[in-house]
Amino acid sequence: MADTIKKIGVFTSGGDSPGMNAAVRSVVRACAFHNIECVGIYRGYEGMIDGDFITMNARSVKGIINKGGTILKSARSKEFRTKEGRKKAHQQLIKEGIDALVVIGGDGSFTGAMIFNQEYGFPVMGIPGTIDNDIFGTTHTLGYDTALNTVVEVIDKIRDTASSHNRLFFVEVMGRDVGHIALNVGIAGGAEEILIPEEDLGLDRLVESLRRSKKSGKSSSIVVVAEGDKIGKSVFELKDYVDQNMEGYDVRVSVLGHLQRGGSPSCFDRVLASRMGVKAVEGLKEGKSNYMVGLKNDVIDLTPFDQAVKGKSKINMELLRVSDIMSI
């Protein structure tokens, strides 16, 4: 198999995350090191269908390791979800002489790659890029560490205002189905409560907890809410409920939104991206396919796509216990 991999295509798909550019850089330079041609594919699967390709070499990726977002752009492709769309994509890859693919993205991107591999036997390797850290088979996805640092910095600034005005702030962070970001930044930012999808605190328990905090002498509070939390229909519903059932706080809401996904990647994410890119290329070179590159116990390892897609990343229960103790 090693001799048959002459040209590798690399693309970013789904949402962007800090570290994607560093991963593209790593894939391109690992290809150059092993004398494999590398082709960048713009706009993910959509660009693959359109044949939107660019030849890349070691110099093509200079000066991008520190940049957030993705120079290859990203897009969702409805057409690739159809057999006809995947057939067009395959024809474009064969026409370009591409032998294998490295996809940098999340579970949706990996599902597409897995189906493509099943239909055409096309070698694929995945690198997890999403700030939510919601992919099984890796302790860290690209962008997660950067997002944590970004959010903690914002919470520190919000606390300055909260303490100055005796305010209660609900700070909503990303985390559609998992509370990794909320739990970690809540502890690091000294939040009084952390609301995550994995733990249903309940509105009454939330108010009771806030009352205890106020009785203990706290004049301001920060509550970190994962966007996928199930207590209320929205963070604004939480605000209204607390307004109606608790006196003495001026309640405000801060939805951090997409600022969490931007910015220059942290040192950790840059190093992780570099390690993952090398592993992806060398894995393909060794004849492996249909795997996701992940970090396990500080070792770069491979997880089959079907496990990465179907498995569920679990919240750290020790952190939940720590958060309860810290909020006293």
For the segment 78-100, what is each residue's pLDDT rounded down to a tens digit? Answer: 999 999 999 999 999 999 999 99
Residue 152's pLDDT is 97
Band of pLDDT at residue 217, cut at 50, 70 and 90: confident
Say whether pLDDT at 76 is over 90. no
- Please give the residue that has the higher pLDDT: either 304 or 208: 304
Task: Report, as an integer, the average pLDDT of 251-264.
Answer: 93
Band of pLDDT at residue 24, cut at 50, 70 and 90: very high
Which pTM was predicted? 0.94
What's the CA gap between 247 and 241, in Å, rounded?
Answer: 11
User: Which residue is associated with the tokens 């993205």?
Assistant: 105
Share of the chain above pLDDT 90, in %: 74
Residue 199's pLDDT is 84
Each residue's pLDDT tens digit, 148-170: 999 999 999 999 988 888 888 99
User: Which residue is associated with the tokens 């070499």?
Assistant: 57
Catalytic residue from among 132, 134, 229, 269: 132
Say whether pLDDT at 2 is over 80. no
Question: Which residues, in sequence order, are CB contacts of 118 under 8 Å at separation 6+?
Answer: none
Q: Which residues pair with 105 in a beta bridge?
A: 128
**Nearest alpha-carbon partner for 56 in 38, 74, 32:** 38
Q: Which amino acid, residue 139? A: T
Query: Mean pLDDT: which of 5-14, 160-169, 175-184 is highest?
Result: 5-14
What's the CA gap between 180 and 143, in Å, rounded?
Answer: 13
Task: Report, as an integer, the average pLDDT of 299-315.
Answer: 93
How distant is the alpha carbon of residue 142 from its chain centre? 6
User: Which residue is associated with the tokens 């679990």?
Assistant: 314
What are the structure tokens assigned to 243, written together?
């307004």
CA distances from 175 to 72, 75, 94, 159, 185 (A): 25, 20, 38, 21, 12
Three-state SS string over the chain comes to CHHHCCEEEEEECCCCCCCHHHHHHHHHHHHHHCCCEEEEECCHHHHHHHCCEEEECHHHHCCCCCCCCCCCCCCCCCHHHCHHHHHHHHHHHHHHCCCEEEEEECHHHHHHHHHHHHHHCCCEEEEEECCCCCCCCCCCCECHHHHHHHHHHHHHHHHHHHHHHCEEEEEEECCCCCCHHHHHHHHHCCCCEEEECCECCCHHHHHHHHHHHHHCCCCCEEEEEECCCCCCCCHHHHHHHHHHHCCCCEEEEEECHHHHHCCCCCHHHHHHHHHHHHHHHHHHHCCCCCEEEEEECCEEEEEEHHHHHHCCCCCCHHHHHHHHHHCC
Say whether pLDDT at 271 is over 90. yes
Each residue's pLDDT tens digit, 97-129: 999 999 999 999 999 999 999 999 999 999 999
Q: How many residues does the chain have?
A: 328
Q: Does residue 3 carry a catalytic annotation?
A: no
How many Cβ atoms are within 10 Å of 97's Cβ, its own excluded? 11
What are the structure tokens assigned to 111, written together?
């599902």
Each residue's pLDDT tens digit, 56-71: 999 999 999 999 999 9
Share of the chain above pLDDT 70, in %: 98
Each residue's pLDDT tens digit, 40-53: 999 999 999 999 99
How many Cβ atoms are within 10 Å of 177's Cβ, its own excluded? 13
- Tell me the pLDDT of the chain averaged across its residues: 93
Task: Report, as an integer, the average pLDDT of 122-144.
Answer: 96
Residue 162's pLDDT is 86
Residue 219's pLDDT is 66
Residue 3's pLDDT is 62
Task: Report, as an integer, the average pLDDT of 192-209.
Answer: 84
Task: Report, as an integer, the average pLDDT of 217-238.
Answer: 82
